Amino acid sequence: MIKGKIRKTWIPDDYINGPWRTNKYHYKGFQTSSTNKKLYKNNIGVYINNDVNMNFSKISKKFKLKQTVVALNKMNPGQILPFHIDLYKTYIKRNDVKNQKDIVRIILFLEDGVPGHQLWIGDSICTGNAGSYFGWSYGEKHMAANLSDQARYTLQITGLRG
């Protein structure tokens, strides 16, 4: 697991009022069990904003990854991404990735954690305040959920090991 903390250089206006689009994944972007699909139905998903400001693009460079793609994620209360493995189909195709094992995903918390905001990587729960980040390599099982009463905002960085 990758983990650490960076200094917070952003404010809520940098991410809260962006052009959010629904991404229910339709079970194509990741691999999860059919039981999870039946249990969670329309709660599976996250809102995505690919229109990130320059500050977030600069932040992504701190991780020294190649071919980075940066997106903002928002989970409203009740949204969940049950344990799954990312397939990275679009990323692999657009970036002509030769070795999937080089793919890394980083999740950076944009706000201080509150009870109910969850990120699990394997069997470890990942918690922290704004600026805390956690990541994993291709093939790692993980999940995210918002079981609180307020939105959960994160920055998602995908790239290749340098």
pLDDT at 44: 67
- Please tell me the pTM assigned to this model: 0.89
pLDDT at 136: 98
CA angle 115/39/37 to nearest 5° reads 105
Total domains present in the chain? 1
Q: CB of 34 within 8 A of CB of 62?
A: no
Domain residue limits at 16: 2-161
| CATH number for the domain harbouring residue 86 | 2.60.120.10
pLDDT at 30: 53
Which amino acid, one-letter code, is at 18?
G
Plot region of 89 (φ>0 → left; ψ -120 to 50 → alpha; else → beta)? alpha
pLDDT at 27: 45
pLDDT at 26: 45
Residue by residue, pLDDT tens for the chain (162 residues) are 999 999 999 999 999 988 887 755 444 445 555 666 666 566 667 778 888 888 898 999 999 999 999 999 999 999 998 898 999 999 999 999 999 999 999 999 999 999 999 999 999 999 999 999 999 999 999 999 999 999 999 999 999 997
